[in-house]
Chains A and B, each alone.
Chain A
Amino acid sequence: MAEKQTTTSAAFIATLKRDLLIAFKKKNDIVNPFMFFIIVVSLFPIGISPESDRLTEIAAGVIWISVLLASMLSMDNLYRSDYEDGSLEQLLLSPHPLFFLVLAKNISHWLVSGLPVVLVSPILAYMLALPTEAYGTLVLSLLLGTPIMSLVGSIAVALTVGLGSRGLILAVITLPMSVPVLIFGTLAVQSTLNSQSPVGYLSLMLVMLSVSVSLAPLASAAALKISVN
């Protein structure tokens, strides 16, 4: 990381590559939240009802809430290992705007934790007896919603990065904030099921995504500066 005259875009790509590489070296951190997601989804039919009619009603909500819980788990190691080995301080000292470096870290985190969940969601939707016509909406809403959760959750992770044992405080801070995403994500799927157009909800999620892409990394960067003195 010691090259002298790097451009910001080069630094952005370098951070992205580095984080993806680290993620693939430590497969447990990716695989465990993913497995958690699949297991939580499979517990719902056992706990509530195996009848496909009832499962159809709750399918979208079950998948969305499981995604939220799984993202809490994967979020935990967004900055922690960097904080522990000191590379986070290097990141803060870099001459490039922290905004883009934080954005790169968030994108790489989403690629390894959010995207797999989105890709596997049609299979789980099938298992929860969601009608086929809603698959597209579900995948699209997850595609728009999971990056929002990564970006907003990153603020809370950055605020708590210095704490030794934080596990639950992250969930207490972040879960209430994910209410709007949950509402619009499930409403989009429900409206498809009622043969209405989900475009309105999906565009609202797109708005939330563009707002969080432009503002949340700023807050995360400020939070990192607060946490790392």
Chain B
Amino acid sequence: MWVWFSKLGSPKWFYELSGKWLPWLIAAMVIFMTIGLVWGLVFLPPDYQQGFTSRILIVHVAVAGTSLAFFPLMLVAGIITLVWRMKLADMVAKHAAILGAWFSFITLATGSLWGSVMWGTWWEWTDSRLVSMLFQLFLLLGVISLRSALEDSETAAKACALLSIVGCINVVIIKYSVEWWNTLHQVASPVSLDPSSPNGPQFWIATLIMIVAVYLFLSVSLILSTRNEILERERRSQWVQDLVLKN
């Protein structure tokens, strides 16, 4: 276990291993993404209440669910960075913050698109999920801007790790306090996002496939950007130079 764990910290080992995984992950992602998107956006019957607009939810729910995974991921990476000083964890955390910000943004954008049809407005402060996602985006942007402000990469790694841990705790508090704030102003959102109740099973199976596809997409993009980061940070080491010469 510990041998495996300390091996994982070595960028070279990760680079080689992820190189073997990548083709399979990409293949799985393409398959799931194609099935999910074609089924969800072309064949899925219109919802009895929402019409064809419900198809947006296929993408929206998958992206939203995935974007909740970023702060826990950064929390784990942050603890590993602070406790074991693992360089790899910081490289993953760096790109998780950037990807997380994009995912949060896409969640807000697809949610607004859906809301513009269903609620008649692009933005609704009384929906607690919308508001807490906005603040998750702000917190992630804070982590990104802290990293870009700190020049020394080791200080930046530890500082961002600490901020991610604090941010993860904060995101949970913000989520619940925003919910509290809303339930007092408005009883419930006009339409429930719960896919199982008003919609048939084909809807949530399509959503489930899409969730798997988006998680695979997340893994592939995270691995690809981490591999780039490894090559950049380890550019002075022998194995990277060998690799470059070979290709």
A: residues with CB less than 8 A from B are 155-156, 159-160, 162-163, 166, 169, 172-173, 175-177, 179-180, 183-184, 187, 208, 219, 222-223, 226-227, 229
Flag whether B142 is at the interface (Cβ < 8 A).
yes
Cα A149 to Cα B71 with chains together (Å):
22
B171 to chain A, nearest CB (A): 9
Contact between B146 and A162, CB atoms less than 8 A apart: no
User: Are B180 and A183 in contact, with the CB atoms below 8 A?
Assistant: yes
B residues 124-172 near A (Cβ < 8 Å) are 135, 138-139, 141-142, 145-146, 149-150, 155, 158-159, 162-163, 165-167, 170
Q: How far is the CA of A211 from the CA of B82 in the complex (A)?
A: 22
B interface residue count range (under 10 / 10 to 19 / 20 to 34 / 35 or more): 20 to 34
* Smallest CB gap from B134: residue in A: A176
* Contact between A172 and B145, CB atoms less than 8 A apart: yes
- Could you jot down 5 A-B contacts, CB within 8 Å? A177-B166, A177-B167, A180-B177, A183-B177, A222-B82
Cα(A23)–Cα(B245), bound, Å:
60
**B150 contact set on A, CB distance < 8 A:** 162-163
Chain B interface (Cβ within 8 Å of chain A)? 82, 135, 138-139, 141-142, 145-146, 149-150, 155, 158-159, 162-163, 165-167, 170, 173-174, 177-178, 180-181, 184
Q: Which of B135, B138, B146, B162 contacts A219 (CB 8 A)?
A: B162
Please name the 8 residue pairs, one residue from A and one from B, whose CB atoms are nearest each other, closest first. Answer: A176-B138, A180-B177, A173-B142, A226-B158, A183-B181, A159-B159, A183-B177, A177-B170
Q: Is the CB of B155 within 8 A of A169?
A: no
Contacts of B155 in A (CB 8 A): 162, 226-227, 229
Q: Quick one: given A162-B150, A162-B155, A184-B177, are A176 and B142 in contact (CB under 8 Å)?
A: yes
| CB within 8 Å for A187 and B142 given contacts A173-B163, A226-B155 | no
A residues less than 8 Å from B166 (CB atoms): 155, 177, 219
B163 to chain A: closest residue by CB: A159
Q: Are B181 and A226 in contact (CB under 8 A)?
A: no
Q: Which of B146, B155, B173 has the most CB of A within 10 A?
A: B146
Residue of A nearest to B158 (CB): A226
Given A179-B135, A180-B174, also A223-B159 (CB < 8 A) = yes
Interface pair A179/B159, CB less than 8 Å apart: no
- CB < 8 Å neighbour of A159 from B138, B146, B178, B180: B146
- Residues in B with CB closer than 8 Å to A159 are 146, 159, 162-163
CB <8 Å contact, A226 and B159? yes
What chain B residues lie within 8 Å of A208 (beta carbons)?
A: 173
Cα–Cα distance between A173 and B139 once the two chains are bound (Å): 7
Complex Cα distance A173/B142, Å?
A: 5
Are B146 and A169 interface neighbours, CB within 8 A? yes
Query: How close is A51's CB to chain B, nearest CB, in angstroms?
Result: 23
The answer for the CA separation of A119 and B184 in the assembled complex, in Å, is 30
CA distance A153 to B142 in the complex (A): 13
Interface contact A176-B162, CB-CB below 8 Å: no
Residues of A within 8 A of B138 (CB): 172, 175-176
| B170: A residues at CB distance < 8 A | 176-177
- Which A residue's beta carbon lies closest to that of B139? A176
Q: Inside 8 A of B180's CB, which chain A residues have their CB?
A: 183, 187
Report the minimum CB–CB distance from A110 to chain B (whole Å): 19
Known: A176-B135, A226-B162. 9 other contacts (CB 8 A): A159-B146, A159-B159, A173-B145, A173-B163, A176-B174, A180-B174, A208-B173, A226-B155, A226-B159
Instruction: Tell me the complex Cα distance, A176–B115, Å.
Output: 24
Q: Contact between B162 and A177 (Cβ–Cβ < 8 Å)?
A: no
User: When chains A and B are docked, how far (Å) is the Cα of A183 from the Cα of B125?
Assistant: 13
Tell me if B146 and A180 are in contact (CB < 8 A): no
In the assembled complex, the Cα of A110 lies from the Cα of B144 at a distance in Å of 29
A219 to B163, CA, bound (A): 9
